[in-house]
Amino acid sequence: MPLNDTAIRNAKAGAKQRKLYDSGGLFLLVSPSGGKWWRFKYRFGGKEKLLSFGTYPQVSLKDARDDRDKAKKLLRNRIDPALERKAVKQAESGLGSFDAVAREWLSKFSNSWSTSHTRTIKQRLENYILPNLGTKQINAITAPELLAVLRKIEDRGYIESAHRVKQICGQIFRYAIATGRMERDPAADLKGALTPPKSKRMASIIDPKGVGGLLRAIDDYKGSIVTQCALQFGILTFVRPGELRRAEWEEINFETKEWRIPAEKMKMKTPHIVPLSKPAIAILERIKSLTGQSRYVFPSERSESRPMSENTVNAALRRMGYTKAELTGHGFRSMASTLLHEKGWKSDIIERQLAHQERNKVKAAYNHAEHLPERRKLMQDWADYLETLMRDTNVILLHNKVG
């Protein structure tokens, strides 16, 4: 039987909490201290939940029933009234705007990123997204609204940037979902809606004779010995340029002949092992007398407390006569990948040594040592082949059945 004001006023406190039921899930909770609290019981997503409507007599029976009816209307529209209430409060305080959630997300996760990556993320948000969607409540942003912003980026010819910005927004939306501020990711609904980016290969040399010429040019390099060693070590290890310039002496193990790069320095945030060939070890031994007191194997020319500049390797290549369209430091990776594949090495061993992303994230956390014996052979074979290319001006690709 539904409640009435007389029954509510006369409800006495007992030794335990009492529930006086009205209708439609609404009830009054009477505490042992005499307090009377309105509660609404409902189910959402298969779970039973409770929502508070305040205390009696501040909230009358009529007001409590009105609140219940509003909540039931939200439920009919498949909206959780508890989440809706939270979103309204956040909107009133400004904590539910896209700008606020994006900055909260940045604050929480940017400590695990490199400085350059953090700067890039902030620039993309501030240039493209925040001016258009920053003040809008994050749970009110729709897929068409996001697409309109991304299309503006496309219209300027920045196809790759549009995809990157969509990816960033998706990460922010998923963070908002996890923290109870929205229920779905509108960026996920835009799959296939953007112009596909053109595949872009880093400028590289994959002709054996051209590689031989490059190696001889580096051997004759007249600039800094540290830069020369970085070029040689970069080709031998074919790591990413950022990983190369930020290599630290404490990561090098001369006994095991390994360079162990920690997860925080890797693009995919998983640790990586680089087996060191005999020539790679020789380079490290040569440079140790010059930079061994520094934290970095290849420190900056201006300060040993900082790593080599990100422009140093490419500037050296330009000094040797290689244009940006012909070769970059990142191109050492495709150089190694192409020639090692042509030499007969299995793709999964090459890809693992390149530290390309493992789709299975759980597996990726444990596979940094996967295929390690084969990778040791691969790295030494690569070093031996490079030496052959450098010394023989008439060399052709030597196929061998390995891996």
Domain definitions of the chain by residue range: 5-79, 98-190, 208-391
Of residues 120 and 106, more confidence is placed in 106
Specify whether 164 is catalytic: no
When mean pLDDT is compared over 3-7, 18-22, 378-382, the highest value belongs to 378-382
Considering 267, 278, 306, 346, which one is annotated as catalytic? 267
330 is catalytic: yes
Residue 401 has pLDDT above 50, yes or no: no
Six-digit token string for 75:
């439920």
For the segment 176-199, the average pLDDT, to the nearest whole number, is 87
CA angle 345, 351, 354 (to 5 degrees): 110
Domain 208-391: give its CATH superfamily.
Answer: Intergrase catalytic core (1.10.443.10)
* DSSP conformational letter for 368: G
Neighbours of 290 (CB within 10 A): 14
Calculate the average pLDDT of the chain.
87
Domain 5-79, second-level architecture: 2-Layer Sandwich (3.30)
Annotation says 385 is catalytic: no
Q: Would you say 105 and 171 are in contact if contact means Cβ atoms under 8 Å apart?
A: yes
Residue 76 has pLDDT above 70, yes or no: yes
Q: Please tell me the predicted confidence (pLDDT) of residue 362.
A: 45
Checking if the pLDDT of 397 tops 50, the result is no
- Alpha helices for 37-180 (secondary structure H): 61-76, 81-93, 98-109, 115-124, 130-133, 143-155, 159-178
* Burial letters 109-144, b for 16+ CB under 10 A, else e: eeeeeeeeeeeebeebbeebbbeebbeebbbebeee
User: pLDDT-based confidence at 94, cuts 50/70/90?
Assistant: low
Q: Distance between terminal CA atoms of the chain?
A: 79
Question: What pTM was computed for the model?
Answer: 0.53
SS3 49: strand
> What does the alpha-carbon distance between residue 37 and residue 57 come to, in Å, rounded to a whole number?
9
Active-site annotation holds for 371: no
Catalytic residue among 181, 240, 265, 343: 240
117, 151, 319, 366: the active-site residue: 366
Taking only the tens place, the pLDDT of each residue in 296-307 is 999 998 888 899
- Architecture of the domain made up of 98-190: Orthogonal Bundle (1.10)
Mind listing the pLDDT tens digit for each residue in 249-258?
999 999 999 9
- Burial category of 229 from C-beta neighbours within 10 Å (exposed 0-12, middle 13-18, buried 19 and up): buried
